[in-house]
Structure 1
Amino acid sequence: MVFGLKSSGSSSPIAVAARLLPLVGCSHSERESAMAKAHILVLPVPAQGHVTPLMELSHRLVDHGFEVTFVNTEAHHARVVGALQAAGGTAALTGIHLASIPDGLDDNDDRKDIGKIFDSYSRHMPGHLERLIAGMEAAGRPKVKWLVCDVYTWWSLDVAKKFGIRVAAFWPPAAACLVICLKIPKLIEDGLLNNKGWPEREETFQLAPGIPPLHTSQLPWMNVVAPEAHPVVFELHIRTGMLTAHAEMVVCNSFHEVEAGAFKILPPNVVPIGPLTSDRELRKPVGQFLPEDTQCLQWLDAQRDGSVVYVAFGSTAVFDPRQFRELALGLELTGRPFLWVVRPDFTTAGDLSKAWFDEFQARVAGTGMVVSWCPQQKVLAHRAVACFVSHCGWNSTMEGVRNGVPFLCWPYFADQFVDRNYITDVWRTGLAVSPDAGGVVTKEELRSKVEQVVGDGEIGKRARLFRDAARRSISEGGASYENFQKFVDLLRE
């Protein structure tokens, strides 16, 4: 289900401020206390994989005494609020104000067209962000002291300068992807890329020891958009260096042990503070766009330890009907219990009928469960999960690593190939599926690889070693813990 929200049509400061979702459940005295806190504006790229870690970071900042205004586009703000209301309301966001600004797109525009949306964002959103900030001040909110922005929102830097707001940044993918972005001039100089970002040679390269090898066809800006939109996306990756250089600190949802090679060559203002969570008990909402089906947790409770294959491909991947059918039949073929996340838009229209899928679900009802969305962090932390069949988005990758879950990698686009190569080639905590000559991962391939991953004791052992390293890193005295304290101290200046 997608919740739409139209622009109010007014751009006055007071009207813009009226679109803020205020602190919920606060008494008058609590509101007065909140007004005295340092005010931080958090600005993600409006995509699930960017909103989630920045919402987790926002909860952590509130816990350290900051007041946070979290800015989404109107369309995505409506989806977040709708999912929160389906879960019982917005009370769990106490300390975080939700705000929205227009994205410059029409209601009927495709908000999955990455080239179109980033072009629109850079042209329209700076002015809307300016009006939001002015509107908050006009409404009596504290002056914004810091902007903590997604590095991909490079256009927000000039807005912050205009208001005298200090800037820190958040890098959502693997730190290795930031290395790749910063090395673009060198890759062009070496003749690996032309100045438009297209590979000049078909080859696998490695930027430094510890950074996963990558084929030129799998660079983060490749396989993302149609060729005509490629210049917009390539320019976006080039511009990340600008915000990285100007931000006082750039924090990453990563930790030293998994990306030591990348952090050795990144600028000293780029530091890992992960793996991120909203809170130790995983109770606080993380800005989901779809309502979570929590019944799957009770279903997991009834399964044996280390028996369940968890299958989820994030918020963007779309399978054609043939691949969808092979995936379904492959899960059935394993004979193992499985939990499969199937978004309403997960497959394209075609010869896959609703009747076929209903029949499939009836057939596997004793062993498999299909949900439209789920509380993934709680699922991956569950004792029953044996392995994670994943698109290898960075949030999912960190969530799997933090819980010591082996992976079966099935990347879809963008940075996910870097993450897959970390898992299979550097950490060796999982395997990857291999498509056939027609580009399809067959049901037999899925069954075979699931059995290999689950049955490989060395993969399980390494996964547990990285789990333990992750937990040490975020515990008191760990590197990520100490880096986060430095970040908090900076924001308090």
Structure 2
Amino acid sequence: MDQQNNTLEPHVLMFPIPFQGPVNCFLKLAELLCLSGIHVTFLNTEHIHRPLLRHTQVLSRFSRYPNFKFETIPDGVEHETPVPRDRFMEVMAGVDAVTKPLFREMMVSGRFSWKSERPVTVMIPDAYFSFAVDVAIEASIPVICFETISPCCLWTSYLNLPTLIEAGDVPFEGSDLDQLITSVPGTKYIIRKRDLFSSFRTYDGSNSDIDLIAKEARTILVAQGLILNTFEELDNVVLPHMRKLCPNIYTIGPLHSLHKTKLMANKNPPRQETTYSNSVWKEDKNCMLWLDKHDPKTVIYVSIGSLATMTVEQLLEIWYGVVNSGKPFLWVRRPGSITGGYDESRVPIELLERTKEIGCIVEWAPQEDVLAHRAIGGFLTHSGWNSTMESIVEGVPMVCWPHHADQQMNSRFVGKVWKIGVDMKDTCDRLLVEKAVRNIMDSKHNAITQSTNTWASLAKESITEIGSSSIHLGRLIDDILAMTMSSTLM
């Protein structure tokens, strides 16, 4: 290393995959690192950075930190709005073709390399970006992966993929989706075939999803550490087993709550508010006024997140089920989330009329604030990990209708392990939707509420000054400083 770099300051490069959920998590962690005095460069691909700037005050918010800066990198994606899940691989193909070579040059010989005035001393990429970890290793930069999916899915479907394949559990064919998977340590009587990735259900001789999952799992194992958005008690079924493969795990969740707590505790500069939008969609905050008109625990909140889609037929089944439950509802319908040529003029008039009486439909909402509102009594969700964690913190029971990725496993743990909701995967029938909503709001409300209150209390304990997540955040910060010092001594 050059003599000019023998007194390095810690400088972390954060690199999320270009989608709403991961960017949101990475930004919260970035601010926590900034509060500790660490220099942070936040690298977004251009596709996701444009709507982030358009719909948030993120630039002015982070301007209070002289040790933070945004950087962007081309990705070849021309869309001006974020894409849905079915175009995920289109975005990733752009990253692979355009971003990857530029990133390597940036880190190996460019402005963030050891040859630069302020080199990156630690890299924190999304584990999906295996190429970023490869580059970090090539450039001798310590790397800590951040996984924004759930630990229960990461353990069962990623780190145990070789085990599943060897046992003949993956890939599989056949109609018995309720067959228990017994090959994964810690979850022998928990997961079924239907709780694994839907892409595991058929096999035609090649499966790109399986290849990608295997690659991501291998990436995690070569990093110096792994950051997870969970707390110790919540994932105590899998964390002891995960640590046998990944000894250095930082559990810093619920990240959004830890973020709020640290902002409130920070006096320089003082904070007027601690909930900030990292949304790449424009939030309609008028829905909060609508919620103010309702009694506590009476409203069902409906949202399938920032990537999932539904067909017109599925929309109508869920819509009828929610309306027929008789519960007031706030429904987020993201632009582009309904496929198949939705036309409101073809919606039955009685459905529209009843919706006017008891419903509120918006394109996007400030979800953390919505779930924290006293009027919310239940959440019909796609079971994304951020949504699940936000619901757990607020003690809100869930009706789970998972769509992709870790959502299949999350919904199973919600219903079977944590007992804080109803798993409704692989079904979309108005009668079942109505029954599930009534279960969490009425007939099974007391039993489920006991569990939700317990988990909400444990979540809050984890982010106290002596809580496990606060301790792990402190350890992460200390390790970043130590990794920088080790690099200085090279």
Q: Same fold per TM (> 0.5)?
A: yes
Change over 3 Å in CA distance of 1:233–1:105 after alignment to 2 = farther
1:125 equivalent in alignment to 2:113: no
Q: Confirm or deny: 8 A CA contact 1:39 1:68 kept in the other structure.
A: yes
Q: Confirm or deny: 8 A CA contact 1:69 1:97 kept in the other structure.
A: yes
Q: Give the 3-state SS of the residue equivalent to 2:40 in structure 1.
A: strand
What residue in structure 2 maps to residue 73 of structure 1?
Answer: 45
1:323 equivalent in alignment to 2:314: yes
Q: Confirm or deny: 8 A CA contact 1:53 1:286 kept in the other structure.
A: no
TM-fit CA distance, 1:248: 1.5
Change over 3 Å in CA distance of 1:70–1:305 after alignment to 2 = same
What residue in structure 2 maps to residue 7 of structure 1?
Answer: none
What residue in structure 1 maps to residue 35 of structure 2?
Answer: 63
Distance 1:107 1:408 in 2: 32
What residue in structure 2 maps to residue 154 of structure 1?
Answer: 130
TM-fit CA distance, 1:178: 2.0
TM-fit CA distance, 1:124: 3.7
> Which residue identity is paired with 2:471?
E
1:461 equivalent in alignment to 2:453: no
Change over 3 Å in CA distance of 1:228–1:123 after alignment to 2 = farther
> Which structure 2 residue ranges, 5 or more long, are not aligned?
1-7, 265-272, 483-490
CA deviations on 1:33-77 (whole Å, 9 max, x unpaired) are xxx963211111112222221121112111211222222221111
Quick one: which of 468, 477, 481 aligns to 1:488? 477
> Which residue identity is paired with 1:127?
P
What residue in structure 2 maps to residue 307 of structure 1?
Answer: 298
Change over 3 Å in CA distance of 1:358–1:62 after alignment to 2 = farther
1:51 equivalent in alignment to 2:23: yes
1:250 equivalent in alignment to 2:226: yes
Change over 3 Å in CA distance of 1:470–1:211 after alignment to 2 = farther
TM-fit CA distance, 1:286: 5.1
What residue in structure 2 maps to residue 474 of structure 1?
Answer: 463
Q: Give the 3-state SS of the residue equivalent to 2:255 in structure 1.
A: coil
Quick one: which of 445, 452, 464 aligns to 2:439? 452
What residue in structure 2 maps to residue 380 of structure 1?
Answer: 371
Distance 1:263 1:211 in 2: 15
CA deviations on 1:274-333 (whole Å, 9 max, x unpaired) are 110142377354532101111222222222111110111111221111211222222222
Change over 3 Å in CA distance of 1:480–1:334 after alignment to 2 = same
Quick one: which of 69, 91, 98 aligns to 2:60? 91
Change over 3 Å in CA distance of 1:475–1:354 after alignment to 2 = farther
1:40 equivalent in alignment to 2:12: yes
> Which structure 1 residue ranges, 5 or more long, are not aligned?
1-35
TM-fit CA distance, 1:228: 8.4
Distance 1:469 1:356 in 2: 44
1:335 equivalent in alignment to 2:309: no
Distance 2:214 2:10 in 1: 32
TM-fit CA distance, 1:441: 2.1
Quick one: which of 340, 344, 356 aligns to 1:349? 340
Quick one: which of 173, 177, 180 aligns to 2:153? 177
Q: Give the 3-state SS of the residue equivalent to 1:192 in structure 2.
A: coil
Change over 3 Å in CA distance of 1:239–1:93 after alignment to 2 = same
Quick one: which of 233, 248, 267 aligns to 1:269? 248
Quick one: which of 341, 351, 369 aligns to 2:360? 369
Change over 3 Å in CA distance of 1:152–1:286 after alignment to 2 = farther
- Give TM-score scaled by structure 2 length: 0.83
Change over 3 Å in CA distance of 1:199–1:479 after alignment to 2 = farther
What residue in structure 1 maps to residue 144 of structure 2?
Answer: 168
Q: Give the 3-state SS of the residue equivalent to 1:492 in structure 2.
A: helix
1:440 equivalent in alignment to 2:431: no
Distance 1:323 1:473 in 2: 38
Of stretches 204-213 and 295-304 in structure 1, the one that deviates more from structure 2 is 204-213
Change over 3 Å in CA distance of 1:286–1:89 after alignment to 2 = closer
1:279 equivalent in alignment to 2:268: no
What residue in structure 2 maps to residue 113 of structure 1?
Answer: 87
Distance 1:212 1:271 in 2: 27
Change over 3 Å in CA distance of 1:355–1:63 after alignment to 2 = farther
Distance 1:375 1:332 in 2: 23
The RMSD of aligned alpha carbons is: 3.1
- Give TM-score scaled by structure 1 length: 0.82
